[in-house]
Amino acid sequence: QKNKLNSNLKKVKRNCNPNLRETQSIILSIKDQISMISYEIAKEFSTSCNKFWANKAKLIDYRKPDTFFPEINRMFRPNTQSSIKQLAVNQNNNQCLSDLNNRSDHSHAMSSGIDKVPNIVLKHLPLNYVRNYTIIFNNLINNCHYPKRWSTTKILPIYKKGKDPNNPTSYRPISLIPNISKIFEFLLNNNITEHCITNNIIPDEQYGFKYKHSTVHAINRFLTDTTKHLNNHEMVATGLIDLERAFDSIWLKGLFYKLIKKGFPRYLIRLLWRMMQNRSFYTVSNSSQSTRQFRIEEGLQQGTVNSPLLFNIYNSDILNLFDLNSDNKTYSIAFANDLLLYCAGKSPDKLQKTLENLVNKVNSYYTQWHLKINATKCETILIRLPISRLSRTEKLH
């Protein structure tokens, strides 16, 4: 009877749907991650509380017994404890997962990061899992904590046709981070965007990484300005500037200096700082994987949700420096890391000097903020009316 039972069990295992086994494995992985992140949050909260009260106690002069004990009693009364930030995500809805439904591409439904949980699984999670993740997200925001596991990126190197296969620069890195961390980043991204709009941090001249903005709008702006000056029989000198490894070369300390100066909420700055710390990546090619992980020391990480918006914040000041866009016939337009400088006038010699002066100032600014212009991709263009439409004086110039 026992042998017969074992034989039946083996048949069941052989006939078991492999996709079902894989789904069960993913569900177990999600359970493990929820438990692990909950433990991390509890540990972080305990450490923060201990530090808070230890620092409070240091401020009391223990050499004065008449004031020491009354101060200690007041300190540990419940009504004097520091309040915890209100929940940022409503536990009664699945806002966090609706973002993923709206933004995720079905062609990437099975791609996943280090956690091996694809988007398609997150979209069909049971309601109790949604509630668990919502509670976790609230606690992450309240405690300004970011799980270490989410800081590890999987890199897929894609070969560029016609390049030397032995040269690392011949491969385009595709970054895959845990999909659940993207949902959390979407929530933060909403708060960052709201602060940017309220305080007018991203200039109108920036058309990249902005909702309902595209290259069409940037080109239309440039054509409008150029046509206006050509109709006034003026020429337009244009400089197209490209940044080298723009995202990878962002100076993180400089970025957080700007976030503080621009008045971003403290909890957002602390959360973003945690997200930028202890980042690492490993590479996967076909079925092989790198034997060790590599640290990411500087730059904004590719593949994350917030990196484009943070880049815009970091690069926002340049668009209105040096009296650009202030009715003096010098202008700037940006699309992500591509910058267009142009100026108008009737003398080509003066235009050349004005444009050179602008480019030198921009280059000095970028150098100061650890950015580098890619000279091989920069261009200059002089736009003018056809010779047949120029006056005799203009032809002499």
Identify whether 73 is part of a domain.
Answer: yes
Distance CA 215, CA 236 (A): 20
We report the CATH number of the domain holding residue 323 as 3.30.70
Residues 240 and 257 in one domain: no
> What range defines the domain where residue 359 resides?
215-246+315-396
pLDDT greater than 70 at residue 386: yes
The reported pLDDT for the residue numbered 52 is 60
- Is there a domain that residue 128 lies in? yes
Domain shared by 376 and 319, yes or no: yes
Q: Which amino acid is at 346?
A: K
Confidence of residue 317 (pLDDT cuts 50, 70, 90): very high
More confident residue, 124 or 67: 124
One domain, residues 125 and 233:
no
Q: CA-to-CA distance for 101 and 209, rounded, in angstroms? A: 20
Same domain, 238 and 258: no
Q: Is residue 13 classed as helix, strand or coil in its secondary structure? A: helix
**Helices assigned H by DSSP within 118-265:** 119-123, 127-142, 179-198, 215-231, 252-261
Residues 118 and 36 in one domain: yes
The burial class, CB within 10 Å (0-12 / 13-18 / 19+), for 390 is middle
Q: What is the pLDDT of residues 205-234, one digit of tens each?
A: 999 998 889 999 999 999 999 999 999 989
pLDDT-wise least confident of 79-93, 263-277, 330-344: 79-93
d(CA 309, CA 196): 9
Above 60 in pLDDT, residue 158?
yes
Using one digit for the tens of pLDDT, what is the confidence trace for 18-70?
555 666 676 667 777 777 777 777 676 666 656 665 666 566 565 665 565 55
* Average of per-residue pLDDT across 354-372: 94
Summarize pLDDT for 181-202 with one digit per residue, the tens: 998 999 899 999 999 999 999 9
Weakest mean pLDDT among 14-18, 50-54, 151-155: 14-18
Q: How far, in Å, CA of 193 to CA of 184, rounded?
A: 15
Instruction: Give the pLDDT confidence of 328-354 residue by residue, as tens digits.
Output: 899 999 999 999 999 999 998 999 999
pTM: predicted TM-score of the whole model, two decimal places? 0.73
pLDDT computed for residue 110 by the predictor: 60
Do 106 and 237 fall within a single domain?
A: no
Q: Between 394 and 267, whose confidence is greater?
A: 267
